[in-house]
């Protein structure tokens, strides 16, 4: 009786083919952590949200399946500069790719439209705003989309720090395209942002894949300064003493220009990038930094998304960002090559008020939602873009807020008569969340806890996290521990030192130098205490004493 051959393993065959293409077309020997799981899901047609840290190789997660699977891969990205880089890199590999966005010429748009008329494999890069073009959408539907990729997917979320209203329409686009598999990519997402992304794009929670946000090569520290002048002097000194290329982030255009001038006066030529510069100036500044013509870039948060420069050795924040999401995203642009990099935050008490100013009036109000409801309700399905824009302008409400309200109206259909009030309430809660996020950023800056523990607790609140051992607070505690070990060595008699007391959050304690406080967190190595001035500091357990409740005197 002939022996039966074992059934072929489809996963093994798929992986062999995958690694063959990886070597032959991309010139790579192996995949990075997390890539294989994401690519395997995409090749099986499973919609996926990939949470991969900056520098983890998110682009390969759709480029490799595009080569293997053929057909059209539609990549929706907010990053025009990055799209150009990606197209150029793919062209060098012989992989067909085109781009269509506001920065492309008429000839490039014609090339993209012509490519859609063919049936060979193609990667098409575009922005969400381009997808408002009905004729463009019709061409996409006619061609058929194998994979819909949403890069920087946190921009979908109303709770994300880079919210873009046009991203909200992507859920409807996916339906129009016949529900192709979708791959959403981002480096940063809290639980609320993940819920938003999955909800808009129809990704099951089981489709969320992540490797965690921890990157051991990033060394964090924070420094408080009493005066703005002291902080600026310290920044100049840090730039001068830190080798390699670096980013200096500031919160305002005025601060960007002041820091830029201070660096030049100190003999440190630097680039300058902010939203008030013309497009030509911004592109020239970015090219000079990316090519290494200038070592340091001073920028507002207008610069950064999609910056693919692996050898950034330091990121300096001259002012507090609005929250830990933004801070991790911006500081995470350092060390993408895996080599050590420094992430330093310099701040004064005045920085909080700058962010509070940005928060005031950021979101649509009930009047904005009501204006959109009236305009759309009176149009009876008419979607003439020019007439709609004119009607919305006539309401006198702020244009940006109307864009957000319109995107939300079109996503929900506007059937609920209480929609304006409900949406305004959602944004009231969002404003409260933003204020809490700013306070968490302030707590991070002032805390004596491990910096990485605080960042990880923000993004992964249900997971235990060890100390990093490399941030300023961990190094300070290690130094103090050595000093304490030397100063409190057992006497010659051989007496053992007393065991430190166990501490729990909420417990009242007294520290030797700073007085009374309340325990925020404690482990065997340190006790983090909130002091009376709102600052958190971490101490070795032997330097913290429990405050015993006073006993009432017995009546005579």
Digit-coded pLDDT (tens) for 270-294: 999 998 988 789 888 988 998 899 9
Predicted confidence at residue 553, as pLDDT, reads 46
11 band by pLDDT with thresholds 50, 70 and 90: confident
- Pick the last residue of a domain from 183, 210, 237: 210
Q: What is the pLDDT of residues 387-418, one digit of tens each?
A: 888 888 888 898 888 888 887 887 776 667 88
Closest listed residue to residue 136, CA positions, set 74, 91, 183, 181: 74
pLDDT band of residue 520 (cuts 50, 70, 90) is confident
Do residues 334 and 372 share a domain?
no
Q: Is residue 117 part of a domain?
A: yes
Span 68-87, average pLDDT: 86
Q: Are 162 and 257 found together in one domain?
A: no
The last residue of one of the domains, among 162, 178, 210, is: 210
Q: Is residue 149 part of a domain?
A: yes
pTM (two decimals): 0.76
Query: Please, which residues bridge with residue 508 across strands?
Result: 518
pLDDT band at residue 32, thresholds of 50, 70 and 90? confident
**Least confident residue range of 88-97, 178-187, 480-489, 516-525:** 480-489
- Any domain includes 141: yes
Confidence of residue 485 (pLDDT cuts 50, 70, 90): low
SS (H, E, C) 156-193: HCCCCCCCCHHHHHHHHHHHHCCCCEEEEEECCCCHHH
Banded model confidence at residue 504, pLDDT cuts 50, 70, 90: confident
Same domain, 333 and 414: no
With a cut of 70, say whether residue 105 has pLDDT above it. Answer: yes
Q: Are residues 18 and 85 in the same domain?
A: yes
- My answer on whether 85 and 127 are in the same domain is yes
Return d(Cα 496, Cα 498) in angstroms, integer. Answer: 6
State whether 149 and 33 are in the same domain.
yes
Task: Provide the pLDDT for residue 535.
Answer: 72
Residue 166 lies in a domain: yes
Whole-number pLDDT of residue 61: 94
Measured CA distances, 312 to 244, 299, 368, 437 (Å): 7, 14, 42, 27
154 and 229 fall within a common domain: no
Residue range 240-263: mean pLDDT, rounded: 96
Higher pLDDT, 239 or 83: 239
Whether pLDDT at 52 is above 70: yes
CATH number at residue 66: 3.40.50.300
- Residues 37, 114 within the same domain: yes
Output the domain CATH number for residue 479.
2.30.30.140
Q: What is the pLDDT of residues 184-205, one digit of tens each?
A: 998 878 888 899 899 989 999 8
**Could you tell me if residue 432 is inside a domain?**
no
The answer on 395 and 307 residing in a single domain is no
Specify if 440 maps to a domain. no
215 has a pLDDT exceeding 80: yes
Residue-level pLDDT at 555: 44
Question: Is the pLDDT score of 231 beyond 90?
Answer: yes
Q: How many domains does the chain fold into?
A: 4
Tens-place pLDDT, residues 335-363: 988 899 999 999 998 999 999 998 887 88
Q: Which pLDDT belongs to residue 464?
A: 82
User: How far is Cα 218 from Cα 309, in angstroms, rounded to an integer?
Assistant: 15
With 80 as the cut, is the pLDDT of residue 2 above it?
no
Mean of all residue pLDDT scores within the chain: 85
Residues 6+ apart with CB under 8 A from 493: none
Q: Is residue 389 part of a domain?
A: yes
Domain with 523, as residue range(s), is 472-488+498-546
454-461 average pLDDT score:
89
Domain boundary residue among 319, 350, 381?
350
> Does pLDDT of 247 surpass 90?
yes
Same domain, 203 and 72: yes
In a domain, 134, yes or no: yes
pLDDT of 402: 87
For residues 108 and 111, what is the distance between their CA atoms, to the nearest angstrom?
5
Question: CA 456 to CA 494: how far, in whole Å?
Answer: 42
The reply to whether 416 and 300 lie within a common domain is: no
CA distance linking residue 310 with residue 54, whole number of Å = 10
Whether residues 108 and 241 fall in one domain: no
CA separation for the pair 439, 500 (Å, rounded):
32
Residue 175 scores a pLDDT above 70: yes
Chain segment 438-453, per-residue pLDDT in tens? 999 999 999 988 999 9
Q: At what angle do helices 324-331 and 451-459 cross, to 10 degrees?
A: 120
How many CA atoms, within 13 angstroms, populate the side-chain half-sphere of residue 381? 0
Task: Give the pLDDT confidence score for residue 380 in this predicted structure.
Answer: 67
Distance CA 414, CA 277 (A): 38
């Amino acid at each position: 009786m002939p022996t039966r051959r074992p059934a072929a393993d489809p996963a093994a065959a798929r992986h062999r083919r995958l690694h063959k293409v990886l070597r032959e077309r991309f010139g790579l020997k192996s995949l990075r952590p997390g890539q294989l799981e994401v690519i395997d899901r995409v090749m099986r047609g499973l919609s996926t949200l990939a949470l991969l840290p900056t520098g983890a190789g998110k682009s390969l997660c759709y480029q490799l399946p595009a080569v293997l699977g053929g057909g059209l891969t539609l990549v929706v990205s907010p990053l025009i500069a990055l799209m150009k880089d990606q197209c150029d890199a793919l062209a060098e590999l012989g992989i067909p790719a085109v781009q269509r966005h506001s920065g492309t010429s008429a000839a490039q748009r014609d090339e993209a439209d012509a490519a859609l008329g063919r049936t060979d494999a193609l990667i098409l890069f575009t922005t969400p705003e381009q997808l408002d073009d009905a004729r463009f959408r019709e061409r996409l539907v006619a061609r058929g989309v194998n994979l819909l990729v949403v890069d920087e997917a946190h921009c979908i979320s109303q709770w994300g720090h880079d919210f873009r209203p046009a991203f909200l329409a992507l859920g409807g686009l996916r339906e129009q395209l016949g529900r192709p598999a979708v791959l959403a990519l981002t480096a940063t997402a809290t639980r609320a942002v993940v819920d938003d992304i999955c909800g808009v794009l129809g990704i099951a929670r089981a489709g969320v894949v992540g490797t965690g946000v921890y990157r051991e090569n990033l060394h964090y520290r924070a420094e408080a300064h009493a005066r703005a002048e002291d902080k600026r002097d310290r920044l100049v000194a840090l730039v001068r003493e830190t080798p390699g290329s670096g980013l200096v982030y500031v919160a305002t255009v005025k601060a960007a220009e002041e820091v830029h001038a201070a660096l030049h006066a100190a003999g440190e030529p630097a680039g300058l990038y902010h939203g008030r510069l013309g497009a030509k100036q911004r592109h020239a500044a970015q090219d000079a930094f990316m090519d290494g013509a200038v070592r340091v870039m001073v920028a507002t948060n207008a610069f950064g998304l999609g910056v693919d420069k692996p050898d950034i050795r330091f990121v300096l924040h001259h002012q507090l960002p609005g929250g830990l999401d933004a801070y991790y995203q911006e500081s995470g642009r350092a060390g993408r090559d895996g080599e050590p990099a420094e992430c330093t935050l310099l701040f004064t008490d005045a920085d909080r008020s700058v962010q509070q100013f940005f928060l005031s009036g950021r979101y649509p109000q009930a009047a904005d939602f009501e204006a959109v409801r009236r305009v759309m309700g009176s149009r009876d399905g008419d979607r003439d873009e020019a007439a709609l824009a004119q009607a919305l302008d006539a309401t006198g409400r702020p244009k940006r807020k109307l864009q957000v309200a319109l995107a939300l109206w079109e996503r929900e259909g506007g059937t609920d008569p209480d929609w304006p009030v409900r949406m305004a309430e959602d944004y009231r809660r969002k404003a409260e969340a933003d204020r809490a996020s700013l306070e968490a950023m302030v707590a991070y800056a002032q805390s004596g806890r491990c910096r990485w523990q605080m960042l990880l607790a923000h993004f992964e609140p249900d997971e235990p996290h060890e100390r990093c051992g490399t941030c300023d607070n961990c190094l300070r505690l290690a130094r103090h521990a050595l000093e304490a070990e030397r100063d409190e060595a057992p006497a010659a008699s051989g007496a053992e030192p007393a065991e430190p007391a166990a501490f729990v959050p909420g417990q009242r304690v007294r520290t030797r130098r700073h007085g009374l406080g309340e325990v925020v967190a404690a482990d065997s190595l340190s006790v983090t205490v909130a002091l009376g001035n709102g600052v958190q500091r971490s101490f070795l357990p032997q330097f913290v004493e429990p405050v015993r409740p006073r006993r009432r005197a017995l009546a005579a």
